[in-house]
Amino acid sequence: MKKWIIGITFVCTVVLVGCTNHVKDGIELLEAGKYEEAKTSFEQEIERGKNLDEAYRGLGIACFELESYEDAVKAFHLAVKNETEETAVLYSMMGACYMETGEYEKALDVYTKALSMKDITDNIKQEVQYNLIAVYEKMTDWDGAKKQMEEYKKAYPEDERIEKEADFLETR
């Protein structure tokens, strides 16, 4: 999942013409799996006050990969504040961060926003819809989880993962 999120995020949204080497370097480091170095590169760009939209987005991805979810979500919000392109992938990653930090209401909000984005791919849509089941479960909203699970089963009947969720939810 990590490689294609990084690839989609930057291939689709970064216009490298005019970007400094810090952003380009950061992207290359992300793609190489060197997240600590990528984080440093994006932070250097932020210090310069240039390309803040992409620098914060890159910083968010680096922090996400380093499992520093609070820092990642802060960086993603700063990317949006600095007018980065808002994408389904961005909101999906924010939702994952909120899930990791136990902020389930916020996860629900951003996952819902991800589903409304024009650029959402079938893979991202499926992942977000599956994650929504988990959000409702964490919130102990069993009816919401069951409803989301039924919608998921209709949309993705071939996904075997849903049977585990269905078994779990039957006991609730």
Of 151, 150, 65, 80, residue with least CA distance to 169: 150
- Mean pLDDT, rounded, of the chain: 87
Please write down the long-range contacts of 146-154, taking CB distance under 8 Å and 24 or more positions apart.
Answer: 146/172
Q: What pLDDT was estimated at residue 50? A: 85
Radius of gyration (Cα) for the chain, nearest Å?
Answer: 17
Of 142, 134, 69, residue with least CA distance to 108: 134
- One fold for 1-85 and 87-172: yes
User: Domain boundaries in the chain?
Assistant: 1-85, 87-172
More confident site: 169 or 130: 130
Share of the chain above pLDDT 90, in %: 73
Q: What pLDDT was estimated at residue 114? A: 97
Q: What pLDDT was estimated at residue 20? A: 54
The correct CATH number of 1-85 out of 3.30.70.260, 3.30.365.10, 1.25.40.10, 3.40.605.10 is 1.25.40.10
Neighbour tally for 11: CB within 10 Å: 11
| pLDDT surpassing 90 at residue 43 | yes
What's the whole-model pTM score? 0.83
CATH superfamily ID and name for 87-172? Tetratricopeptide repeat domain (1.25.40.10)
